[in-house]
Structure 1
């Protein structure tokens, strides 16, 4: 069994815990919250034995082996490094950190302490992502990667009404690129590596974050086009276009449940398989497997892929003039 603690008692932690309830070797032992009331309420909900209102105490305790971090983006580095330095394995929600500097600090701490650090990017650990990768050759020479994740945020209604919630707060390193664009960028990096150059545009909101935007990444012989937004919906599928055919990833790239190839001769092929677990199950499964194998890095959600993704997002933010509070303390 791998004994887990969780940081964060919000909806994403709920979703994660619901996803892993049938995962063998996952055992929930502790929760951190800033208030005793919330910690105890969450502990009662999930039958958790230990509650903490001081995350350093949780990191130093002997009641957990690993931690799932779902705190605000701006706190990922601070929380992760404390646990890494105390010999705990860390599964950290995407984006791994606020910027490149923080990402490097986290990787350094994991390496020095010989423990596992993995970004919880569920897309690239979805069973159909492996199918996508294994079937790319059928497309011939690939000329374009297109990914879209545009989802109207209910928090945007509050923003327009004058209330700035976490999703639109630059102090927490949020916004469309970090929250949704990362789902498009990370798979691109896993499939094709780091691009030669990136050009980004976006809409900056008065709160100091981006509400949406686009970017073009240039590769040798191909380009990538990415759209993301928290201010509007899009129903376009994502697509990988080759000279022999195009691979269509329906709905949005974050959940590749249905994947088809349309060939230039008019024939079609469905290559996706039905998943048998909630989509966040697979990231936890990979994380636990790596711990049990004594490994300190995923070959899929690797340090290199997380770092390249952070570099792309920071490059785009610089082009937009989008600066987080975390950037000022580098």
Structure 2
């Protein structure tokens, strides 16, 4: 049994616990929150027996084997490193950290302490993503990767009324790129690696973060186009364009349906059955790695997380987005 402590008491933690509860070796034992009331309420709701308001005491607990971190982005690196220095395995929500410097420090801490560190970016573990990898050769030479994730945020309504919530606050290393643009970048990195060049544009909000953006990435024999937004919706499918056909992807963040449209008119549905809660697969991967004494995922590897952070940081620089974490 892998005994988990969680950091963060928001909806994504609840979603993770719902997914992990389907895994036989998972057990929730502890909750950390900055406020005692939130920690106790969340623990009671989900059956945890221990609560903490001190991150140091949480990390030092001998009742915890592994930690799931779903705090604001700006806290990821510090909290993860404290936990790893205490010998805990860490699964940290995307984006792994605020910037490249923090990702490097987190990886160094994982290696120094011989513990598992994995970014909780679910896409690369989904059966439909694996299906894309297995069938990619069918579309011939790939010429373009196009990914769109544009979803109007309910928090934007509050922003327009003058209330800047975490989602649009640079203090927490947030904004459209970090929140949902990463869902477009990470699968690109896993499939095609590091680009040769990056050109970015974005719409800046007065709070200091991006509301939406677009990125053109150049590879040796292909290019990639990424669009993301928290201030407008889009219903356009993502796709990988090849010389012999295209892989059409419904919902880049969940990969609900995947099919190949060949140049000769044939259509092949390569969709696989997936768990209703798509966070199940990342939770299972993390637990399986711990059980097999692995300290790095091959799918959500250190290199994939580092490349994603490098691309994100370059996009932010071109768009003039600076976080307090960048100045430390």
TM-score range (shorter-chain normalised) is: over 0.9
Q: Please give the residue correspondences for 1:216-295 in structure 2 after superposition, counting only pairs within 5 Å.
A: 216-250=216-250, 252-295=251-294
Checking the alignment, whether the CA contact within 8 Å between 1:257 and 1:274 is kept in structure 2 is no
Checking the alignment, whether the CA contact within 8 Å between 1:146 and 1:238 is kept in structure 2 is yes
CA distance in 1, matches of 2:90, 2:43: 20
Which deviations, in whole Å up to 9, do the C-alpha atoms of 1:166-222 show, x marking residues without a partner?
A: 000000000000001000000000000011111110001000000000001100110
CA distance in 2, matches of 1:317, 1:153: 20
Which deviations, in whole Å up to 9, do the C-alpha atoms of 1:243-296 show, x marking residues without a partner?
A: 00000001x211012100000000000001111351001001000111111110
TM-superposed deviation, 1:159: 0.2
CA distance in 2, matches of 1:167, 1:207: 11
TM-score, with length taken from structure 2: 0.99
- Runs of 4+ with deviation above 4 angstroms: none
- Name the counterpart of 1:181: 181
CA distance in 2, matches of 1:46, 1:297: 28
SS at match of 2:38: helix
Question: Number of residue pairs matched?
Answer: 328
Q: Please give the residue correspondences for 1:52-201 in structure 2 after superposition, counting only pairs within 5 Å.
A: 52-201=52-201
Checking the alignment, whether the CA contact within 8 Å between 1:65 and 1:88 is kept in structure 2 is yes
Checking the alignment, whether the CA contact within 8 Å between 1:29 and 1:49 is kept in structure 2 is yes
- Name the counterpart of 2:22: 22
TM-score, with length taken from structure 1: 0.99
- Name the counterpart of 2:317: 318
Q: Please give the residue correspondences for 1:6-21 in structure 2 after superposition, counting only pairs within 5 Å.
A: 6-21=6-21
RMSD: 0.6
SS at match of 1:289: helix
TM-superposed deviation, 1:15: 1.0
